[in-house]
Chains A and B, each alone.
Chain A
Amino acid sequence: MSTPETVLSVSSLDVHLGESHVLQGVSFEVRSGGVTALLGRNGVGKTTTLRGLLGLVPRKGEILLEGRDISRLHTHEVVRLGVGYVPENRDVFAGLTVQENLRLAERPGGPHHYDLVYELFPRLRERLRQRAGTMSGGEQQMLALARALLNDNRLLLIDEPSQGLAPHLVTQLADALARVASLVTVVLVEQNLNLVRRLARDAVVLDQGRVVWTGDVGGLLNDDERTRDYLGVGVAR
């Protein structure tokens, strides 16, 4: 059931990849505003969940975006309804310049928030003519985020943005994400629990293709035993 405060409502999301049954009936809800963290050990299906929401993999189940069923739509149709995606590998177009990457991301009709993008990531403005493939990991991450921010979105799906980034960059990333979260609802897949603790309000934990815990982030991360059970790590405070 989705209320005006629920941006996303997922019921029994089922995904098969080749012979493995990666998602076995995933169900959760995403509240409007703020960040919902999607957590779990490696390989439990977090990235697949995001891809399933977008239709990048064939899926079954019910997915309601602000009450509207998007489970049968093509990826580009889902995205046009206002869903931004920042994938795990950034997936910027290496052969295109920064400017071209951004231009490609412009959705027809809507306003394009270049001012916001340049404010958050001034470095991008300096490198507009540079080919994206020659940029550092951190800069590519900025570009990937910027692409998603250009348009008006109801929901942002962000997959492990801190992966491979040096600590000082992670701090910068955290600031940017905090700002982003204040503007749009975010579903964040992250391994970095400090980041999660700082940014997220709600948490959904996956294990072996199923949801095993939902609740607020504090309830999860403040409980060492629970954290260890579900996430396999201790939390540094």
Chain B
Amino acid sequence: MSTFILLTITGLGLAALYFLVASGLSLIYGLMDVLNFAHGAFLTMGGYAAWLIGDATGSFTLGVLAALVICTLLAALMETTLLRRLYGSHVPQVLLTVGLLLAITALIRSIYGSDAHPLTTPAWMNETTEILGAPIPNNRFLLILVAVAVYLAMSAFLARTRYGLIIRAGVENRAMVTALGIDVRRAFTLVFAIGGALAALAGALTGAINNAVSPEQGINLLIYAFIVVIIGGLGSFRGSALAAILVGLLQQYANFYGLVGAGDLIVVLMLAAILLIRPQGLLGRVAT
């Protein structure tokens, strides 16, 4: 029983990570029709920024905050200077994000080396709290809390603010939004920046959980995040949340109760199933 609790909570922790990455990806795709591979770069950059600044200032929190700010700005910069030039050409935009992912990951690798770097986190994060006999690492609670907070904040943003309205409408029909006199490009930059921020957060927290950052952490997490996005439905914020929970939990259970690697394979099977049965994803609209 205690194992089950442990698996469930770590599964939810994993779901939290997936959600942080997938929600940004989903909105970016929904609004801009761009498969943003550069997201993986922000995952890695977030982790490294948190490590560097955390070590420099001695405060993990400051490290995370700094990572957030830096990556948000970089994301906005990336969108306005590079992505915007290819507005309207979807395949080149995807390719551009791929190129950025490869280049930035390589850059980090060249400066800091391919090996993982230990990341110092506050002691309490590595301690465990007992829940019904299961020792749960505290950092999982932090992860879940952050994800829930982000979910609530983003939902409120989307539902109550003008930009939230623009984004929701733009995901549905971008052309009509411009035909109402609204410059969607600002919404693009905003969504891209939000995505970058969330990815940075996920990257920093991944580093915290593993107590180490490595150049490859971005790409690895990115693939699963993409799968979560598709399963949830491209462009659906709520879909990402639902799919993240499903995938995170199933992956944990299967990896433990099944063969080695079964959890990862199950995720792939889930994707295949969704693509065949309901290609638009759980909560998405009909896709192309």
Instruction: Tell whether any CB of A sits under 8 Å from a CB of B in the complex.
Output: yes
Q: Is the CB of B169 within 8 A of A96?
A: yes
Question: Contact check: which of A54, A74, A95 meets B183 at CB < 8 Å?
Answer: A74
By a CB distance below 8 angstroms, the chain A residues around B168 are 93, 95-96
Of B5-13, B60-68, B170-178, B258-266, the one with at least 4 CB within 8 A of chain A: B170-178
User: B180 at interface (Cβ–Cβ under 8 A)?
Assistant: yes
Q: Which residue of A lies closest to B176 (CB)?
A: A91
A56 to B12, CA, bound (A): 44
Looking at A74, A75, A85, the one whose CB has the most chain B CB atoms below 10 A away is A75
A96 to B180, CA, bound (A): 15
A94 to B184, CA, bound (A): 18
Question: Contact check: which of A54, A100, A103 meets B179 at CB < 8 Å?
Answer: A54
Q: Is the CB of B166 within 8 A of A104?
A: yes
Which residues 41-68 of A sit at the B interface, judged by CB distance below 8 A? 54, 56
Which residues 220-248 of B sit at the A interface, judged by CB distance below 8 A? none
User: A107 at interface (Cβ–Cβ under 8 A)?
Assistant: yes
Q: Is the CB of B179 within 8 A of A56?
A: yes
Closest 9 pairs between A and B when the two form their complex, measured CB to CB: A79-B181, A75-B178, A91-B176, A93-B169, A80-B181, A76-B178, A85-B179, A76-B183, A76-B181
A87 to B172, CA, bound (A): 15
Q: Which residue of A lies closest to B164 (CB)?
A: A100
Q: Is the CB of A79 within 8 A of B179?
A: yes
User: B132 at interface (Cβ–Cβ under 8 A)?
Assistant: no
Q: Is the CB of B176 within 8 A of A79?
A: no
By a CB distance below 8 angstroms, the chain B residues around A147 are 180
* Minimal beta-carbon separation of A201 from chain B (angstroms): 25
Type the 1/0 row for B143-183, where 1 means its CB is closer than 8 Å to any CB of A: 00000000000000000001001101100110111111111
User: A184 at interface (Cβ–Cβ under 8 A)?
Assistant: no
Question: Contact check: which of A74, A95, A100, A105 meets B180 at CB < 8 Å?
Answer: A105
Q: How many residues of A contact B (CB 8 A)?
A: 21
Q: Pull 30 A–B residue pairs with CB atoms less than 8 Å apart, ordered by A.
A: A54-B179, A56-B175, A56-B178, A56-B179, A74-B178, A74-B183, A75-B175, A76-B179, A76-B181, A76-B183, A76-B184, A79-B178, A80-B181, A85-B179, A87-B176, A87-B179, A91-B173, A91-B175, A93-B169, A93-B176, A95-B172, A96-B165, A96-B169, A96-B172, A103-B165, A104-B166, A104-B177, A104-B182, A105-B180, A107-B181
Q: Is the CB of A104 within 8 A of B169?
A: yes
Q: Is the CB of A79 within 8 A of B172?
A: no
A204 to B179, CA, bound (A): 23
Q: Which residue of A lies closest to B88 (CB)?
A: A58
* Minimal beta-carbon separation of B245 from chain A (angstroms): 22
Type the 1/0 row for A164-204, where 1 means its CB is closer than 8 Å to any CB of B: 00000000000000000000000000000000000000000
By a CB distance below 8 angstroms, the chain A residues around B173 are 91, 93
A75 to B182, CA, bound (A): 9
By a CB distance below 8 angstroms, the chain B residues around A96 are 165, 168-169, 172
